[in-house]
Structure 1
């Protein structure tokens, strides 16, 4: 049973692909667009670099931002994230942290995501559900990467 005060969104999937394929699925903009709600990702994935996530959601264009905070290819990617659609002020305390982990296992790898900085249990559950959809899509894309 999880702690009801834990506001970290989590999702995990087992992928029939090796860690390098999972990494490509996480970082190749063309592959990301296939499973991440059509989002266009722009970055060079170097630590300290900016990330832009753009697209259209429910008929409205968006442009979210982030930075690459840490990277150990092909096992770990940590980014910050801010969406103006959140309605919050663009200040450091309103940015979220997203950690992607790729763990080799027999027959493939386990890919997990954790997103901190959620405001409520409801927001955390919503983010967890969205991340699970994203990872379920990655599961289909990664073996072809």
Structure 2
């Protein structure tokens, strides 16, 4: 089974790296863009990360482990969802990485998800992540307009 495929999406946001970082780790903000899911973690390497929510009427609990944290730059974690239809084995976990970089007055947020098995899974993951980055952009740029 080939699990070498990677989904990637990126957007530029008119917000500071610290604002983008806060959007990634603040449970109240995460809930706004992550399909209503609640996130739980203490945000330390080796700690669990859990997303709880309801998808199409079905409660779920996605989980993983924080792999890397560099505040305002990188957040990486393993990730498995029971909704994936796979068993809860290490080989079935994806790795999700949020990378933040600053250019002039914009911050670029890039999200990658690896360990995908098919091109269809890549397309689905990229579609989901495009919605996520779009919502983060909308939230942060909306807040920026209120500040100006």
| Bin for the TM-score computed over the shorter chain | over 0.9
- The RMSD of aligned alpha carbons is 1.4
CA contact (8 A) 1:43 1:50 kept: yes
Which SS does the other structure have where 2:60 is aligned?
A: strand
- Asked if residue 108 in structure 1 is aligned to residue 106 in structure 2, the reply is yes
SS at the partner of 1:8?
strand
Moved more, 27-36 or 6-15: 6-15
SS of 2:134 mapped into structure 1: helix
**Number of residues of Structure 1 aligned to a counterpart in Structure 2:** 141
Q: What SS class does the counterpart of residue 17 from structure 1 fall into?
A: coil
Residue 40 of structure 1: aligned partner: 38
1:19 aligns with one of 17, 20, 35: 17
SS class of match (1:117):
strand
Q: Runs of 4+ in structure 1 displaced over 3 angstroms?
A: none
Tell me how far apart the structure 2 counterparts of residues 88 and 57 of structure 1 sit (CA, whole Å).
Answer: 17
Structure 2 runs not aligned, ≥5 long: none
Pairwise CA distance, 1:142: 2.6
Contact 1:101–1:113 (8 Å) recurs in 2? yes
